[in-house]
């Protein structure tokens, strides 16, 4: 795809405070205020008779939820994603708390990715709010190191969604991921190999995608705090302390070397749905609530399979208890399915293999061993009149396993 005469130019596009920004489109009166996303349905804004809205404030929150994301104004107060909501309330009691709306976020995700593909079709989807884009073969892109195309992509995303994004454009994915964070929000950062000492080496080691908390702590213990510290270290020293593969990778990454291609498509390994409860639920006393949630998750999972064109042969569950311990169970079916009733029945069988005496804080359902529907249909079979539709199991199909012997 590229040669030394026409080096690669890879963009990493990251939406700015994505969930929060989508919510600000819906509630523009909250612009400029500290806002956090992570509430439940009970935190839905209340529409008042005069047309204004009453918003839930963090100071009034009770429970042990987790913040999904926050606006930059809330981040300035120390409130970040994955922080406990009660801790966030102590830091920013007047911040507005909004419920999570993943359907709306997925809608805007599809919009911004479609806008990018109209300009640069070689796109690697990395999640709901970020993508890699190979710009290498676009006409004129090397004339200005990608600046014009970067500005064009930013404007296309803004036109399609009303939202801003930040883009890093460099010779590879590793550097572009780093650079998309350098000038947030609404940034465009161009970087070549000659710029690495000035712009990349001063960054903390943990900024590199692939250096997690444990590796970062170990590096710090060895006196290696920045990316530049790692780059200056003897490669043999890194291999000695981190092993051959990871040690060599640390050396290469710290010098900004990354040969990975932009991968435009990969088959999903699994599809899942899960929910964290606002309060811990008990298998017996909250049986009706758990039954409804469990069935809803199975129906949503069946809908995801149908919409994406997959069927599953392995159905699994995920449970997290009040002591934060998690368990999973799987069941392999005799044939692939995307039927909600079959998924619900298989997931129920998995639940029978779990001790449910402790309270639950999370429940999830997973579909694995996926196969594309087109590959499961005989080549000469007539095409179906309509796409398969996920039907909800009948109301009487309850959750008989939430009254297991020993649960109290």
Residues with catalytic roles: 130
List, in sequence order, every residue forming a beta bridge with 125; answer none if it has no partner: 131
* Tokens read off for 239: 């291999």
Tell me which residue has tokens 């069946």: 302
- 3-state SS of 225-274? CEHHHHHHCCHHHHHHHHCHHHHHHHHHHHCCCCCCCCCCCCCCCCEEEE
Residues 6+ positions from 116 with CB-CB distance below 8 Å? 13, 123, 131, 133, 153, 156, 157
Rounded to the nearest 10°, the torsion over CA 309, 314, 315, 320 is -120
CA distance 309 to 191: 40
CA distance 93 to 74: 10
Strand 271-281 versus strand 188-190 pairing type: unpaired
Distances (CA, A) of 108 to 12, 36, 45, 162, 297: 18, 19, 21, 10, 22
Residues 6+ positions from 268 with CB-CB distance below 8 Å? 308, 310, 370
DSSP string of 318-377, one letter each residue: EEEETTS-EEEEEEEEEEEE--HHHHHHHHHHHHTTS---S-EEEEEEEEEEEEEHHHHS
CA distance 242 to 218: 9
CA distance 21 to 17: 6
List, in sequence order, every residue forming a beta bridge with 170; answer none if it has no partner: 10
């Amino acid at each position: 795809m590229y040669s030394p005469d026409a080096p690669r130019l890879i963009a990493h596009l990251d939406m700015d405070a994505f969930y929060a920004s989508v919510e600000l489109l819906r509630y523009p009166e909250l612009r400029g205020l500290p806002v956090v996303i992570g509430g439940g349905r009970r935190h839905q804004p209340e529409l008042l008779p005069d047309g204004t809205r009453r918003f839930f404030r963090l100071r009034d929150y009770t429970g042990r939820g987790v913040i999904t994301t926050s606006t930059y104004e809330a981040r300035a107060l120390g409130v970040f994603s994955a922080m406990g909501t009660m801790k966030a309330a102590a830091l920013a009691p007047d911040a507005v708390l909004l419920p999570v709306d993943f359907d709306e976020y997925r809608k805007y995700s599809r919009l911004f990715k479609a806008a990018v593909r109209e300009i640069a079709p070689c796109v690697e989807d990395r999640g709901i709010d970020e993508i890699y884009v190979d710009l290498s073969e676009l006409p004129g892109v090397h004339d200005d190191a990608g600046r014009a195309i970067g500005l064009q992509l930013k404007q296309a995303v803004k036109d399609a969604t009303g939202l801003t994004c930040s883009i890093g454009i460099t010779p590879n994915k590793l550097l572009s991921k780093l650079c998309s964070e350098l000038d947030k929000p609404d940034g465009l950062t161009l970087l070549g190999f000659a710029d690495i000492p000035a712009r990349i080496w001063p960054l903390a080691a943990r900024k590199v995608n692939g250096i997690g908390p444990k590796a970062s702590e170990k590096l710090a213990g060895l006196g290696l705090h920045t990316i530049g510290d790692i780059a200056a270290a003897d490669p043999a020293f890194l291999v000695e302390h981190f092993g051959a593969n990871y040690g060599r990778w640390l050396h290469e990454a710290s010098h900004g070397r990354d040969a990975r291609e932009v991968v435009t498509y990969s088959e999903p390994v699994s599809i899942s749905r899960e929910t964290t409860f606002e309060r811990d639920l008990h298998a017996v006393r909250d049986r009706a609530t758990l039954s409804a949630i469990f069935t809803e998750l199975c129906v949503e999972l069946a809908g995801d399979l149908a919409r994406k064109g997959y069927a599953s042969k392995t159905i699994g569950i995920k449970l997290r208890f009040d002591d934060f311990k998690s368990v999973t169970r799987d069941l392999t079916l005799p044939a692939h399915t995307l039927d909600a009733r079959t998924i619900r029945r298989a997931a129920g069988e998995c639940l029978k293999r779990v001790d449910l005496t402790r309270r639950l804080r999370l429940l999830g359902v997973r579909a694995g061993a996926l196969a594309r529907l087109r590959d499961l249909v005989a080549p000469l079979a007539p095409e179906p009149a309509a796409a398969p539709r996920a039907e909800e199991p009948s109301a009487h199909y309850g959750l008989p396993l939430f009254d297991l012997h020993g649960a109290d």
